[in-house]
Amino acid sequence: MKAVVLFSGGLDSTLALKIIQEWFVDAFPLYVNHRFLSLKKQPDVPKLKVIDATGDFIDIIRSPQHGYGKNLNPCIDCRIIMLKKAKEYMKKKKADFIVTGEVLDQRPMSQHFDQLMMIERTAEVEGLVVRPLSGKLLPPTIPEKEGLISRELMLEIKGRSRRIALNLAQQMKIAEYTSPSGGCLLTDPGFCHRLADLMRYSEKIEERDVDLLKIGRHFRLDGETKLIVGRHEEENKTIEKLMNAKDIMLFVPDTGSPNALLIGNKKALKTAASITARYSDKKNEPSVTVHYKHKKTEKTLKCSPMTNDEIARLRL
Ligand code: SF4
């Protein structure tokens, strides 16, 4: 008997995986990654399959069919995408069912009874999703009806309290799991503010745009133009890596300086230089020479660092 386990590395999916392994199910953990996750380290369990669903997220993020949660988190559409991916993998592995760590009523948007059932139906996996943590509280699944697994082995955890799951983890000697939020940036108000700005001004969102949203200070200079200023060495390197042929990169030479990426209208170069100078170690000097690189050319311009009031007006 085989099952695909939607595995995030969090407590609930780790428990679900362990539980079905105790039932002697041959488990195939599947991690659906997307660029809106802030986790730097992917979970690490034997046989883990990782797939990237960023493209699917970009397609739905502007107008998710089932709306947003508190921020720009399209949790219902996200769960549908995940189950669809699990279904594809289930077919590939010739598995009998899908397992998730979902707990009834744990999350406000996607884990109430009706939503769980609707998500299952929409992903076309009705009756094939086994939820060991709440299974006794949910309708019998196909593998239960076919006698592949016993309903008696299911648990009846419900609600937001983590107490039972934590006790269970202790009993099962599970010590490693990631935080419950899983680091989804679509629940982060600051990130969502920048994403909303991007959606307002860009018709098409690229994967690079999402990577850039995760780093630096962001400034909206006009409808077509943005400046992203690195906050530390690592972000400066990332900015250099993500720069493309249309962009201009600015920095103040021979001093502590961010790399700043100008994307869009070149007419905003002077403003961009002034912001770059403001975040360099020469911010208190009346006039600063800023270098800027575009394709293979490198030039300089002089400007005065931007004032805090002006900065506040442009910053996202
Ligand atoms: S919080 Fe993010 S990753 Fe989690 S279900 Fe919602 S959209 Fe998906």
Question: Does the pLDDT of residue 180 top 70, yes or no?
Answer: no
- 278 CA distance to ligand 1 centroid (A)? 36
Q: How confident is the model at residue 181 (pLDDT cuts 50, 70, 90)?
A: low
Query: Which of 65, 15, 12, 56 lies closest to 36 in space, CA to CA?
Result: 56
Average pLDDT over residues 59-67: 94
Task: Say how far apart CA 12 and CA 174 lie, in whole Å.
Answer: 11
Question: Does the pLDDT of residue 240 top 90, yes or no?
Answer: yes
Ligand 1 atom with the shortest distance to the CA of 109:
6
Helix 163-171 and helix 11-22: axis angle, to 10°? 50
Does the pTM surpass 0.85? The reply is yes
Whether 275 and 229 have beta carbons less than 8 Å apart is answered as yes
Length of the chain: 316
- 51 CA distance to ligand 1 centroid (A)? 16
What pLDDT score does 2 carry? 98
What pLDDT score does 182 carry? 55
What percentage of the chain exceeds 90 in pLDDT? 91
**Atom 6 (ligand 1): residue with closest C-alpha?**
75
Between these two residues, 107 and 221, which has the higher pLDDT value? 221
Q: Structural domains in the chain?
A: 2-185 (3.40.50.620), 215-314 (no CATH)
- 179 CA distance to ligand 1 centroid (A)? 13
Average pLDDT over residues 104-118: 91
Question: Does the pLDDT of residue 200 top 80, yes or no?
Answer: yes
Question: Dihedrals φ, ψ of 28, to 5°?
Answer: -120, 95
Q: What does DSSP say about strands 225-229 and 248-251: parallel, antiparallel, or unpaired?
A: unpaired
What pLDDT score does 173 carry? 92
Supply 85's token pair. 């991916």
Q: Which residues contact 47 (CB under 8 A, 6 or more apart)?
A: 27, 28, 29
Ligand 1 atom with the shortest distance to the CA of 69:
6
- 210 CA distance to ligand 1 centroid (A)? 16
Q: How confident is the model at residue 175 (pLDDT cuts 50, 70, 90)?
A: confident
Q: Mutate which of 76, 186, 195 to test ligand 1's pocket (most atoms within 8 Å of Cβ)?
A: 186
57-66: list long-range contacts, CB under 8 Å, 24+ apart.
57/81, 58/205, 58/206, 58/207, 58/210, 61/186, 61/195, 61/199, 61/205, 62/199, 62/205
What pLDDT score does 54 carry? 93
First to last CA, the chain: 52
Residue 141 has what DSSP assignment? P
Task: Say how far apart CA 293 and CA 219 lie, in whole Å.
Answer: 19
pLDDT, one tens digit per residue, over 21-52 is: 999 999 999 999 999 987 767 788 999 999 99
pLDDT, one tens digit per residue, over 117-139 is: 999 999 999 999 999 999 999 99
Pocket-forming residues, ligand 1, beta carbon under 6 Å: 73-75, 78-79, 182, 184, 186-187
- 196 CA distance to ligand 1 centroid (A)? 17
